[in-house]
Every structure is written in structure tokens, then in C-alpha cells.
Structure 1
Amino acid sequence: MADALTYTGTDFYCDVAIPAPDALDVVHEDDLVLAFHHTRPFWDVHIVVVPTRHIASLTTVGPEDEADLRALLSAVQQIARDVEREHGAAAVLTNLGAYQDSKHLHVHVHSGGRR
């Protein structure tokens, strides 16, 4: 397994996170979604939520991805609710195109200042 801190590929989630969730600080895990504290956090609280099945991006989601997207958004909602309750605020973000370092749909739930 590639080391989370030194990974240089294009799909961290398929290559590292999903195959070895025990190496992560997992917040939520089921058959369709994995959520964990980011391995290189940008904010004080930084959780990443990903579908366990490869979907390239929010802009590539198709009808065949409906169950995965519903599960992803449900998990994001619950995690954001928990972060907001605990820290007083939460933000939800996804990146697209050149802004998307890992070419696997993922959503950031974050709170607090930048690290």
C-alpha cells in the first residue's frame, strides 16, 4: 500500500484509502461511502467523504450513480451536522477539473482556520 503522506498518483481514494481504511481515522464507513479525517488537513477540522465505487467527479455523475450519490450526500449531511454541532460551523466543498487533485469524487467537510 502507498503511504498516505507520500502518495503521488491520481486517485488516492481507489489506490490507498478504500483498500485500507484501517490506516485512516475513519468517521463513517459502509458499503457505499467512506469518510475519514484528511491525511493532510488544510483546516483545523477536515473530513473527506467519498463513494467507495469509483466516480470520477461530480460533473460525471450519471443515472447509474444515483444510489452512490444519495448515500454520499446523506453521509455528508450527517457529518456536516455533527461538525456544526461540535464546532459551531461547517463548510462543504467539492473540487472540479484542475482543482481536483484526486480524480475520484470526494467532498470536504471542514471547520475552523487553515493550518
Structure 2
Amino acid sequence: MDCIFCKIVEGAIPSKKVYENEHVLAFHDIQPAAAVHVLIIPKKHIPTMNDAAGEDFALIGEIHKAAQIVAKELGIADSGYRLVNNCGKDGGQVVFHIHYHLLGGEKLSALNVRD
């Protein structure tokens, strides 16, 4: 498999880890879009949210739990943060391994969403 996030999970590609447990890994994005920009991924390879099934939904809950923990540890829980999952090409997904962007540490602009 040629998935960059799977390689990060395996340790073949280094990352600046923020949080890790048996199922989830969180690390700083190498191209941050905010003062705080952390990627939170399941260790299990799931290409997109549309591919999640069965036991994967408990794993997605673990990702959300990790987001709370990371936001507190990085001091942005009280001021606020954004948790984003892009799904598919038109949704802006670039790496096809489910991942969430935890963004914060500054006032974020409104989302660019069409009415």
C-alpha cells in the first residue's frame, strides 16, 4: 500500500506526534493552515468516510475523543477550534485515508460554503 498516513502509523515516515493510543494517531500537519493544525487519523486504513462501516463508527468516535484531548493539551479547547473531515475529491480530500483536521489557536474565518 502506498498510503502516506499508513507509513506514518508504521513509523516509516517521521511525524511530530501529539497524541497516540492503540487506535488513533494525532500529529502536526507539515503545511499548517492555522496556528494549530493537527491531523487525527485512525491507525486502520479506511479510504474515505463513505468507506466506514460497522466497527469503524466506534473508531470514528475514538477520533473525536482524541480531538477533545488534543485541543485541551494544546490549550485551544476553551477558545475554540474546528474539526474538519474532507470526503472525496470534490470535498477537498487529498490523502485517501480518513483524517480530521483540528484547527485553532487563532480566530478562524467563516467556512467557504455556498448557499
Normalising by the smaller structure, the TM-score range is 0.7 to 0.9
Say which structure is richer in helix. 1
| 1:80 lines up with 2:79 in the alignment | no
Give the Cα separation in 1 of the matches to 2:86 and 2:60.
16
Selected match of 1:12 from 4, 11, 15: 4
Selected match of 2:99 from 106, 110, 114: 106
| Structure 2 gaps, min length 5 | 109-115
> C-alpha displacement at 1:55, in angstroms?
1.0
Q: How many residues align?
A: 104
Equivalent residues in 2 for 1:1-115, closer than 5 Å:
11-14=3-6, 16-20=7-11, 23-82=14-73, 83-85=75-77, 88-98=79-89, 99-111=92-104, 112=106
Identity %, equivalent residues: 25
Give the Cα separation in 1 of the matches to 2:12 and 2:20.
9
Report the TM-score when normalising by structure 1.
0.76
Give the Cα separation in 2 of the matches to 1:18 and 1:93.
20
> Which amino acid is the alignment partner of residue 14 of structure 2?
A
| Structure 1 gaps, min length 5 | 1-8
Retained in 2: the 8 A contact 1:54–1:104? yes
> C-alpha displacement at 1:61, in angstroms?
1.1
> C-alpha displacement at 1:113, in angstroms?
6.6
RMSD across aligned positions (CA): 2.5
Report the TM-score when normalising by structure 2.
0.76
The change in CA–CA distance for 1:96 and 1:89 in structure 2 (over 3 A counts) is: same
Give the Cα separation in 1 of the matches to 2:76 and 2:35.
13
